[in-house]
Chains A and B, each alone.
Chain A
Amino acid sequence: MAGQTPLQTPSQTIGPFFNFALPFDSGPYIVPDGTEGAIRIVGRVTDGAGEPVPDALIETWQADAQGGFGVSAGFRGYGRCPTDADGGFHFLTVKPGPVAGRAPHIDVILFARGLLLHLVTRLYFPDEEEANAADPVLSAVDPERRATLVAHKDGDTLRFDIRLQGEHETVFFDA
């Protein structure tokens, strides 16, 4: 096979039986509990009938508070949380610092039984209106659908619901 371009290994579904294997206790904690300025993100995954999706796995990637990528003390850059019986998930993190020309955001990957290839979406922050308006990815999205990518404030938490189908279907990216 020398000289040939390596061919992509195809994706298959995560299936229904990953909860005994993939989740780990500190998965939802991109920063440890008690970190100053930490933000709690909560959300719910629902299907085309509006029913909760109790067997999804959500993963996140993001820059640290200074805009850097990678692992540093007290910051992992990567989060993993399975959905619960009500489709709910949560993360504890900090808002990513500025990266030139981009609004602060968190990359989100969703795996679930029923999905043969994972979905990619993004979480933007509601208090960054100016940066969001200038963000090249967010501003390329149909204005009527942009709101699905912006979390909203819900008391002390940020809420980011993911709708796989139906009214207000979340925008997913081809990455």
Chain B
Amino acid sequence: MPNSAHPPLDWPDYKSNRLRHPTKPLVPLPAAMDDLTMPVLGEDRIGAFDADLTRQHAGEPIGERIIVTGRVVDGTGRPVRNQLIEIWQANSCGRYIQKNDQHPAPLDPNFTGFGRCLTDDDGGYRFVTIKPGAYPWRNHHNAWRPAHIHFSLFGTAFTHRLITQMYFPGDPLFPYDPIYNSIQDEKARERLISNFDFDTTVPEWALGFTFDIVLGGSQATPMED
């Protein structure tokens, strides 16, 4: 898929891709056929502390408290309103609560690592969480994932569905990560790195990061003059 913002289907540097990517070309879905309106998942599913991952247990989780905020827009720049955003992540030691995560780092009894919210009328969202740790995986010798937060997003059409990962600025692991580097366009890759933001940072409480998301946007980075 040339000029795509997305990674290729076939990316052997990521070992578990090898037996799972389709080998036959994708069949085009005619434009008129991909216009299914996305049902909004009910507001009743969102709980009071779902967007604050530091307040879901009796005590506060260990780690660097952060605020992650941004806007979700469509390919014309219009806000994606009232749509579900889900995030999930490892704790500050780089361990997921999920049982099959075998990384020998401690679990945090005060951290689950799952949050969700609906975008507001301006497409905005805001989560409070702790900065996830980097963690090892077995893709290759000495393989470590850069710290990241998983994001799941719904746009205004079925074709806008997106799952991605938000990274943190200046991570020294970027050059070694086959998942981050699966995105061929360097500029597109960098769009997954959040920005440290003083305006979002709350004095004496938490650092702020911004991460804006475009669903159904242009695939190709414009040529520079």
Interface positions of A (Cβ within 8 A of B):
4-22, 24, 47-49, 51, 53, 59, 61, 69-71, 76-78, 102, 107, 109, 111-120, 136-137, 140-141, 145, 164-165, 169-175
Contacts and interface: CB of A to CB of B under 8 A. Distances in A.
A63 B143 CA distance: 44
Contacts of B164: 9-12
A139 to B, nearest CB: 11
Contacts, number: 206
B117 to A, nearest CB: 14
A45 to B, nearest CB: 9
B209 to A, nearest CB: 15
A165 B21 contact: yes
A136 B33 contact: yes
A14 B22 contact: no
A47 B9 CA distance: 14
A17 B22 contact: no
Given A6-B77, A140-B27, A61 B40 contact: no
Interface of B: 1, 5-9, 11, 14, 16-24, 26-30, 33-34, 36-42, 45, 73-77, 86, 88, 90, 96-98, 100-101, 112-114, 148, 150, 152, 158-159, 161-165, 179-180, 182-183, 185, 187-189, 191-192, 213-219, 221-222
Nearest to A20: B98
B20 A111 contact: no
A3 B83 CA distance: 25
B124 to A, nearest CB: 15
A165 B218 contact: no
Contacts of B7: 10-12, 116-117
Chain B binding surface SS class: loop
Chain A binding surface SS class: loop
Contacts of B86: 21-22
Contact of B179 (A12, A21, A120): A12
Contacts of A9: 5, 162, 164, 191-192, 213-215, 217
A175 B158 contact: yes
Contact of A61 (B30, B90, B158, B162): B158
Nearest to B16: A114
Contacts of B163: 11-14, 111, 118
23 contacts: A6-B73, A7-B214, A8-B6, A8-B75, A8-B218, A8-B219, A11-B164, A17-B90, A20-B113, A51-B19, A69-B36, A114-B19, A116-B8, A116-B182, A117-B9, A120-B29, A137-B30, A164-B21, A165-B19, A165-B22, A173-B29, A174-B27, A174-B28
B217 A6 contact: yes
Contacts of A136: 30, 33
B183 to A, nearest CB: 5
B132 to A, nearest CB: 11
Contacts of B101: 16-17
